[in-house]
Structure 1
Amino acid sequence: MTPLNFPNNNPASASSRVGLLSRHLAAGVQHPASSSTPIAFLSTTQSPGFSSSQPSKMSSQPEHPALLIPGPIEFDDAVLQSMSHFSESHVGPGFVATFGETLSMLRKLFQTTSPSSQPFVISGSGTLGWDLVAANLAEPGDNVLVLSTGYFGDGFADCFNVYGANVDKMAGPVGGRPQLPEIETVLKSKKYKIITVTHVDTSTGVLSEIQKLSEMVKSVSPDTLLIVDGVCSVACEEIAFDAWNVDGVVTASQKAIGCPAGLSISMFSGKAIEAFKARKSPPASYFASMKNWMPIMQNYEAKKPSYFATPSPQLIHALHTALSQILAKPLSERFAKHKEASDRIKKAVADLGLKQVAGSPDDQAHGMTAIYLPESVKATDILPKLAKNGIIFAGGIHKEIAPKYIRFGHMGVSVTDPARTDIDRAIEALKSGLAECGYQKA
């Protein structure tokens, strides 16, 4: 059985993650405007059977490299144009109607029809979702079990520590996840108020299995709330909120949903809301308090003006457009396209003789791929070569393997828009970049 790690409220763990991110940024590619190396910008698109000498305009956006990191992602023109909506009152009838429709569309995205489910859209990053969970659903002294598959699982555990919960962290091996029999044994050994799981950890590309986990949790410990960190999974991996009996999912706007960063998006079950209402003490946060936000969300969805803190009308308009595009076709089709692109990318990685951080096919996400580099190639060598060819990948951030791998994000319009060639160009850029670094498949 994987040993449990019981973290203390130690600022060193948080600072070590900050250091990793700082090194990643420092090792990153130059901004095109400051680089002396010519950059091949992604300004055109080609369809099957295209002639490379006859490019067509990809979009109305300024020329730029294709952003293929695990978020933010490339955005559709219509979504970006929504951001240019004229200024309006956040309690005016036009915006209230848009916000209300946006909240209702989120129910469809999360696949919940239960009237007791409650969506939240709050200005902030995906990390705000952690605070929303920890500040409202956990009280000081409550037992919380965090299933960690990388950097972001560790971060969620840190967040609970800040709010005084008793946190047990169960981590899988690097590139793997805790297994159900192990989790079941732990759940039987102690009563937990909350269990959290990162659906896709952006640091490793490890995909957790939610449906079977939920079935086990509800069988062994039915009072325990199951909370899913879906920041890197919502809109590219299926989440059937009602059918899977999930109690909460937190996500963000800038990944597979395809809206610029700045919105914390979440959905909570009626059971989670009742757990919040049964608190013995008020939430230890003001801005992240469900007490403050719940009536606002309920009023907006009912098309009634309401106010606690000012939302971002422009971002809400962009989210409304992104959700309208997503829901224009069956969600199953969207998930299938992400799987198809993922399979193609993972085959290309294998054909190059490279391995993924997520070792088992069952543990591999469909919206990103974390790729181990050859021993002879450093991320600081290949990332600039990719950028020169108009492709931006991300460096590694998992503390145990950070220098050894890179991350390829493939979600949203880069996958679903048949007119774009981002994925094909990225695969070719990876091949040529490795060759430039002197790598040849054994």
Structure 2
Amino acid sequence: MEETWRWFGPKDAVQLPQIRQTGARGIVTSLHDIPYGEVWSIAAIEERKAIIAADASLGLEWRVVESLPIHERIKLNEGDQTALFDNYRTSMRNLAACGVKTICYNFMPVLDWTRTTLAHPLPGGGTALRFDIVEFAAFDCYMLERPGAEAEFSEETLVAARNWAKAASESDKAKLLANIMAGLPGAYDRYDIPGLRRMLDRYRGVTREILRENLARFLREIIPLADELGMRFAIHPDDPPRSLMGLPRIVSGEDDIAFVLGAIDSVANGLTLCSGSLGAGPKNDVPGIARRFAHRIHFAHLRNVAKDPNGSFMEADHLDGDTDMVALVSVLLEEQERRRLSGAANWRIPMRPDHGHELLDDIGKPTHPGYPVIGRLKGLAELRGVMRAVSAAKGWPLS
């Protein structure tokens, strides 16, 4: 598979020469300084490409957009969205004109990935991202005070959440809010409690079925153009794959993915196979999901999680956790070999290591949560070993 690396742009604490030292050559990035709904101009795209390619000795290339964000009004089907769709399609045309044709995106309402702890201690002093159901229930029920929230948690969780809320200082509560907001990428607005309540009010009455139809409408608006431009769209699963704060989640498991890919049956309408997001769902067989939808996987995020019975989970080492990573990588490599033999021009599946642990001298550095260098490099090295071993055993080209 093609090894790529997520880079948050010139302000990222991780610089391009460091990325080259990992062995990855493909860059996964986005124009985070451009607000949702505005056009990505050719000039802005070429400027980012030029930064990536400035040192030719590094051999780096922008391979995947993560992401071209979808405005909240499109997710809500709120008001006249004509200009939003026109701008989105213009950005698509501009990206294609600049040779960047794979787009990872998500349709998660309000928040992207959500964790309650950004530095859960590991043996030896490293840290990991963690979603703790008790802390999230305390936030939802006793900080946000969302009507009806208590009905969505077990009594055992609620008792622990009430105890947490009673014992928590204002600083503890502020930190929990900041941690939950940390999944919003780039420079976009974070919500305070009143702001979050206002956003949730906008979603009142938006059911799972309505959100599904709004996604289908988005696909009907953009996939025909993606086909025309030779682009590949790859939806990212919900993270975590469960309802949060009463908001419906519609890309959480196998049936959801079947709905999305069936909404428009086109190779341009594809999947980002995120093993961590799907792996946090107790019912999800991640290698099985990958096998069923292999022909529509355009991008892969490879990471692992360890789940607790109560719904909590933590980022595990890439080859540990609850997902059989060797089996998953084998499925992806088998699909890649099928594409190679079919004569496909771009037969390699781009992948990146995701959500590494904070280790060694990365601890305390101002990297984006989940995106330190050393933890991701460790994961990439482990995954590279799996890919080499599986490819050699099968007689497939090393990739």
Which structure: greater helix fraction? 2
If the length of structure 2 is used for normalisation, what is the TM-score? 0.26
Q: Which has the larger radius of gyration?
A: 1
**More RCO (CA 8 Å, sep 6+):** 1
TM-score (norm 1): 0.24
